[in-house]
Amino acid sequence: MTAAGRSAGRVARGISPPGALFAVLGLAALLVPFMTIAANRIVAGEGVMVWRLATPAAALPGVACIVAALLVGLRTHGQPLRLAGAILGLAGLLWLLVQGAPALLADAGDYARVSPAIGFWCLLVILMLLMADALAQMTPGPLARTGLLSAVLGALALILWSGALSPLSILQEHAGRSGAFADAALRHLALAFGSLAVAGAIGFPLGILCHRRSGLRASLLPVLSLLQTIPSLAMFGLMIPILGWVGDSVPGAQALGIAGIGFAPAFLALVLYSLLPVVGNTVAGLAATPPAALDAARGMGMTPGQRLLRVELPLGLPVILTGLRIVLVQNIGLAVIAGLIGGGGFGTFVFQGLNQTATDLILLGALPTVALALCAAIVMDILVDLTRPTPKEAA
């Protein structure tokens, strides 16, 4: 191999393949509309390129931060620097929004609305993937991930509280519906976390019984698998006539909120969807206990109940929590469909926005759902890592 070939090979090895892909996609995203401006909240907006958002002097720092982040992301080594670059790029995105929205609205009329366009959303996804790639290479521990998540949420809360992004259409939609948004958030949390709690209260004992009795396991798990295959919209629809009949036939049922539409059918459907991951992972977690650990427990004279509480459950807890993680993320997403049957939650805004062809109203329901699911997944992953035995403990 020639010296030029060896040099090219070293350069290629020094470039991260994901970073190269992110750089190409990110630079391409800078060439499509970054924001849109519309005469009102319903009509289609006109795309605005990044260099037309504000004065060149105002837009240049944001663009420079984004380009710098993409270039730093090309590195194979130096993951902390790549992470810092991704954060710098996100700061550049924020700068462009803060500078661009007031400038576009300056002479646009009282009802004009500005919104992030495809360029912004593509760059946001690319920079977040770049951050995730750097974190995956760094493999931070649970404490570091907790600190990073807290810092991100704190920074986001501070930005929203400051009002720097208030000219954006989605925040104007929120301003006119702040009370309804708070109610929807509480209802969404009740659907997702409440169904998880009920599914856990039912699924854990069933999982333990299935672990002990193979006949019950052979008959129950296929039934729960069948429930899981029913499409979500069909499941919500099936709950309507069933609970409608219960509400009409059982005295006092309607006083408890049990009716054909509303919170109850959505809640019951989510509980049914949650049972398979809870029961299945409980069985898998208990079955993963090393036979040597069980033999040692028997040798110490432990009863079956003591072995369950002191040996099997602690060792199987990471697998059991993984099932809960699946359920929680799944239910946060499925709870959006509850808006179709009057169950409330963020889905209310999604379907209202679809009916009104108001994109920012759709985003008012969709973005909090995505953020909540991401945070729930990260927190549950941290809990799984905290419960996983270290090599020293396993020995």
CA distance 177 to 268: 28
- pLDDT confidence band for 8 (50 / 70 / 90): very low
pLDDT at 188 over 80: yes
Is 202 found in the same domain as 61?
no
Is 229 found in the same domain as 83?
no
Is 127 found in the same domain as 198?
no
Residue 310 has a pLDDT of 86
pLDDT at 10 over 50: no
Question: Which CA distances in Å does 206 have to 132, 140, 194, 212, 273?
Answer: 37, 35, 18, 10, 15
Is 292 found in the same domain as 252?
yes
In a domain? residue 167 = no
Beta bridge partners of 47: 36
Q: What does the pLDDT average to over 189-209? A: 93
pLDDT at 395 over 50: no
What pTM does this model have? 0.87
In a domain? residue 154 = yes
In a domain? residue 337 = yes
Q: Name the domain count of the chain.
A: 2
Nearest to residue 381, comparing CAs of 313, 330, 299, 322? 322
Is 194 found in the same domain as 115?
no
Out of 127, 158, 189, pick the residue that ends a domain. Answer: 158
Sorted by sequence, the CB contacts under 8 Å of residue 100 that are 6+ apart come out as 34, 35, 48, 53, 54, 59, 114
pLDDT at 392 over 60: no
In a domain? residue 164 = no
Residue 394 has a pLDDT of 47
Residue 7 has a pLDDT of 45
Among the residue ranges 106-110, 154-158, 283-287, the one predicted with the least confidence is 106-110
> Can you give the residue range of the structural domain that contains 87?
3-158
Is 273 found in the same domain as 203?
yes
CATH number, domain with residue 247 = 1.10.3720.10
CA distance 105 to 111: 9
* Block residue for tokens 């993984």: 322
CA distance 201 to 207: 11
What are the φ/ψ torsions at residue 44 (nearest 5 degrees)?
Answer: -65, 140
Mean pLDDT across the chain, nearest whole number?
A: 86
Q: What does the pLDDT average to over 157-173? A: 90
Is 383 found in the same domain as 257?
yes
Is 223 found in the same domain as 113?
no
DSSP state of 32: S
DSSP state of 108: S
Most confidently modeled range among 92-96, 242-246, 353-357: 92-96
- pLDDT confidence band for 13 (50 / 70 / 90): low
- pLDDT confidence band for 379 (50 / 70 / 90): very high
In a domain? residue 172 = no
pLDDT at 9 over 60: no
Question: Which amino acid would we find at residue 107?
Answer: D
Residue 202 has a pLDDT of 93
In a domain? residue 168 = no
Is 302 found in the same domain as 241?
yes
In a domain? residue 170 = no
Q: Which residue has the higher pLDDT, 67 or 18?
A: 67
Residue 2 has a pLDDT of 59
Residue 33 has a pLDDT of 94
Angle at 233 between CA 231 and CA 239, to 5 degrees: 100
Out of 126, 158, 190, pick the residue that ends a domain. Answer: 158
In a domain? residue 171 = no
pLDDT at 149 over 60: yes
Residue 56 contacts residue 38 (beta carbons within 8 Å): no
> DSSP secondary structure string, 151-207?
HHHHHHHHHHHHTTTTTBHHHHHHHTTHHHHHHHHHHHHHHHHHHHHHHHHHHHHHH
Q: Which residue has the higher pLDDT, 67 or 305?
A: 67
Is 119 found in the same domain as 264?
no
Residue 199 has a pLDDT of 93
Q: What does the pLDDT average to over 284-299? A: 85
Is 210 found in the same domain as 89?
no
Question: Which CA distances in Å does 271 have to 111, 164, 258, 325?
Answer: 43, 40, 15, 14
Is 150 found in the same domain as 108?
yes
Out of 158, 192, 213, pick the residue that ends a domain. Answer: 158
Question: Which CA distances in Å does 266 have to 168, 253, 261?
Answer: 32, 16, 8
